[in-house]
Amino acid sequence: MPSQAWTTYKEKVLHFSERIVDAQKPIRVLDAIKWDASIERELREGKFKVMPKIGPDYYEKISIGFDPDSKRNEFKSIIQDLRSTLGKEDSVGELLISICDQYLLTVDMLESRGTKNFWQKSRLLYGSPKDTFFGDKNRILDLGKIMYSILGGIEEHKIGTAIVDDVPAEEVVRELTQRFQSYFPGDGIEARLSDGIVADAAAGGDVVKIKQSAHFSRRDIDILEVHEGWVHIGTTQNGSHQKIAKWLSKGPPRVAATQEGLAVIMEIFTFRTYPARARAINDRILGIDKAEEGANLLELIEFYQTEGYSEDECIMNAKRVMRGGVVEGGAPFTKDLSYCRGFIENYNFMRAAIRAGRPEYIPFLFVGKIHVDDIPLLYQKFEEGLIDPPRYVPQPFRDLYGLMVWLSFSSFLNQIDLHQVQEHYDKLFSRYGAK
């Protein structure tokens, strides 16, 4: 829409929303840092003793899909036009500028693949295990260490039935497609087989890709339904259905923690997760920290081996940490901090919203690809008619009664000295526990 045709504030916001969505289309971080199958073959053939050569020259052969200088100029032009059109004090304009700034940093990161600078940009976009929560003394790494000590001591056979990966990918695709058609009626959401993904599953805009060679448990299907479907597909669809705020259908790195943390929360709130999965997510924090401290690719694989992961899992876990960075150590890809970091940030946001008497903010976690700190602004703009409410919201977040009670108790529980409680029960456990 030409500028002379703008007559309303909403038309201006729609214009910039569409420009940002178009500008970000070729930026595909994971595609730009993926390793081909030869790396895995090389690792196996070398008995995990020979370091593969993955540096800047290797990544030069992988197109990032756009010209970095042209893309930077495009986003800088959007920023300049936002300031001149919406004004420097406009709150939505400030949010859109911060999104553009994130994409500029992402371009810089991808241009630095295979170097230490890649990690430095990754830290700015996704964080580091050394980061603290809201300026508190507790670091993401401290969370990882506590969870490691707890989850490592759980004997799963004592708390539930055995989880067996005996469901082939084809059956998972059929089952998930049926569930998605029920949850997203009329939007054509489906699952589909794929052989080009690192993880066993990955969500796109309207499809969940399932790794063709993988096998899953029945519980995994339940997790994929809520994690990839209700959250990742759901927030994409909610963003896509926005009449004006089209940018909510796409997310720069700043939204990763909120998105992945929300997906983990859904797994927990629906009682679908299990200790081994939680441990795998948590061990990504430890792996990233080891790599930041200098562990190389082979040492990282060895770490996962000592933790009891299969050979395939060790390769996949190490690959997730090292892709894009420096395989000799010291400069990893830090995106996988998002799961645990986002869980804490989202949970604290919900508790704060309850205590502040603003429970209506909580369903807006699903309004699109957002950072949790955007919600007060987005809700204000919803009340002004600029933002549409989320179309797809899971039941625990549509009916907030149970969630409000849970979070209300949680606010008090955090004030109790767990050390004293633990000492009390440790005495009882020691007295009556099995010898």
- Could you list the pLDDT tens digit for every one of the 435 residues in the chain? 455 566 799 999 999 999 999 999 999 999 999 999 999 999 999 999 999 999 999 999 999 999 999 999 999 999 999 999 999 899 999 999 999 999 999 999 999 999 999 999 999 999 999 999 877 788 999 999 999 999 988 887 788 888 888 999 999 999 999 999 999 999 999 999 998 777 788 888 899 999 998 899 999 999 999 999 999 999 999 999 999 999 999 989 999 999 999 999 999 999 999 999 999 999 999 999 999 999 999 999 999 999 999 999 999 999 999 999 999 999 999 999 999 999 999 999 999 999 999 999 999 999 999 999 999 999 999 999 999 999 999 999 998 888 889 888 888 887 888 888 889 888 888 888 754
Closest CA to 332 of 174, 116, 102: 116
Query: Residue 60 half-sphere exposure, CB side, CA atoms within 13 Å?
Result: 5
Distance (Å, whole) CA 17 – CA 72: 17
The residue type found at 390 is P
Closest CA to 226 of 208, 248, 205, 252: 208
Q: Output the CA–CA distances (angstroms, integers) from residue 415 to 143, 209, 412, in the order listed.
A: 18, 43, 5
338: left (phi over 0), alpha (psi -120 to 50) or beta: alpha
Please give the pLDDT value at position 54: 96
Q: Roughly how many angstroms between the first and final C-alpha of the chain, as a whole number?
A: 76
Q: What angle do CA 126, 349, 204 make, to 5 degrees?
A: 50
Please give the pLDDT value at position 158: 80
Is 236 in contact with 219 (CB distance < 8 Å)? Answer: no
Closest CA to 260 of 338, 320, 336: 338
Distance (Å, whole) CA 130 – CA 224: 30
SS3 252: coil
Is 258 in contact with 350 (CB distance < 8 Å)? Answer: no
In this structure, the number of other CB atoms found within 10 A of the CB of residue 396 comes to: 18
Distance (Å, whole) CA 58 – CA 395: 46
Four-CA torsion 409, 414, 418, 421, nearest 10 degrees: -30
